[in-house]
């Protein structure tokens, strides 16, 4: 009978270590990050919830007309078969308004964070790569913006520009810009002196091509992860502005505006405030947990 050699299968032997290292080298970085992400049940569940919310938002765009249609014969009706989440003070179906509000809330959150990320990344790259007076000017402006709490900064922008969906997007974008400037500036300083960047600079590559081809791709994972985490915060800030009466019109089916309209019926019709409140909670939590999972997956210092 053939004898088994326990050392042959031992992970401590040179052959075992060599095989494991070959398997590790055969995997691309995105495959390793994906495996780390899929090993986190909370992150996977939050991603599924986020995708469902996006689907609801797409479907909700077709419910805008139904959400604005009043029915004075069904004012403040509780949840039932015809109105799953009940009706509001004008008899409008709350489920239809939630679906329409999902489209609007995600539009505000995604648009504002995208604008803030683009502007903040551009200014952060300039400050981190060139340094000097450019860095001093940009970073001092960033410090001024960061000195204000986010909601107060957004309220200040709304006070200057006025209400409306577009102005809410701009207000939240202004609140987002300094965060990305600080993030990208620090990462650019860490990357620009690495050997492969110095080699590209030595062969005469222009600053623009060097930033676009070598520096920015190495920052994209960090930018994407933080962008995902900021979407939930942007939705919460936009809802807060609407709740305070500084955002969209009260008749608009935005979740914060729905909370503002329902605050007078907390005791008599609690379903009017419960539904949009839970929608904001679940959406913000899902985006934040998904962002945490992406951060852990892309961070090479965190072991799977």
Can you list the alpha helix ranges (DSSP code H) found in 7-149? 14-26, 29-38, 41-60, 64-67, 94-130, 132-146
The pLDDT assigned to 120 comes to: 94
The pLDDT assigned to 1 comes to: 45
Domain 29-69+95-298 -> CATH class: mainly alpha
The pLDDT assigned to 303 comes to: 43
Tell me the backbone φ, ψ of residue 100, rounded to 5 degrees.
-65, -35
For residues 210 and 212, what is the distance between their CA atoms, to the nearest angstrom? 6
- Tokens 């326990």 sit at which residue? 6
The pLDDT assigned to 299 comes to: 67
DSSP label at residue 92 = -
User: In which element (H, E) is residue 190 found?
Assistant: helix 165-192
Residues with pLDDT less than 70, the chain: 1-27, 29-30, 63-68, 299-304
The pLDDT assigned to 214 comes to: 86
Residues across the chain: 304
Beta bridge partners of 87: 93
Domain ranges of the chain: 29-69+95-298
Can you give the pTM of this predicted structure? 0.79
Q: Are 137 and 143 in contact (CB under 8 A)?
A: no
CA dihedral 207, 213, 215, 217 (to 10 degrees): 160
- Tokens 């913000």 sit at which residue? 284
The pLDDT assigned to 25 comes to: 55
């Amino acid at each position: 009978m053939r004898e088994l050699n326990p050392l042959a299968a031992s992970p401590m032997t040179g052959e075992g270590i060599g095989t494991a290292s070959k398997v590790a080298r055969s995997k691309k970085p995105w495959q390793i990050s994906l495996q780390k992400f899929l090993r986190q049940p909370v992150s996977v569940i939050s991603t599924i919830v986020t995708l469902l919310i996006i689907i609801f938002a797409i479907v909700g765009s077709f419910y805008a007309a139904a959400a604005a249609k009043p029915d004075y014969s069904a004012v403040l009706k509780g949840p039932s078969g015809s109105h799953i989440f009940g009706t509001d003070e004008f008899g409008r179906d709350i489920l239809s308004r939630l679906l329409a509000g999902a489209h609007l809330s995600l539009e505000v959150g995604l648009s504002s964070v995208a604008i803030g990320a683009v502007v903040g990344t551009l200014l952060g790259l300039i400050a981190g790569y060139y340094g000097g007076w450019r860095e001093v000017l940009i970073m001092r402006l960033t410090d001024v913006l960061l000195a204000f709490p986010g909601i107060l900064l957004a309220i200040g922008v709304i006070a200057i520009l006025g209400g409306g969906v577009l102005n809410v997007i701009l207000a939240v974008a202004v609140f987002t810009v300094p965060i990305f400037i600080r993030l990208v500036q620090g990462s650019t300083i860490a990357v620009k002196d690495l050997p492969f960047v110095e080699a590209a600079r030595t062969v005469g590559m222009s600053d623009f091509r060097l930033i676009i081809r070598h520096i920015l791709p190495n920052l994209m994972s960090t930018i994407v992860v933080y962008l995902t985490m900021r979407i939930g915060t942007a939705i919460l800030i936009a809802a807060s502005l609407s709740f305070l009466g500084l955002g969209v019109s009260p008749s608009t089916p935005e979740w914060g505006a729905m909370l503002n309209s329902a605050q007078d019926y907390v005791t008599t019709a609690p379903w009017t405030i419960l539904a949009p409140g839970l929608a904001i909670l679940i959406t913000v939590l899902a985006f934040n947990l998904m962002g945490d999972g992406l951060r852990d997956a892309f961070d090479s210092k965190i072991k799977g």
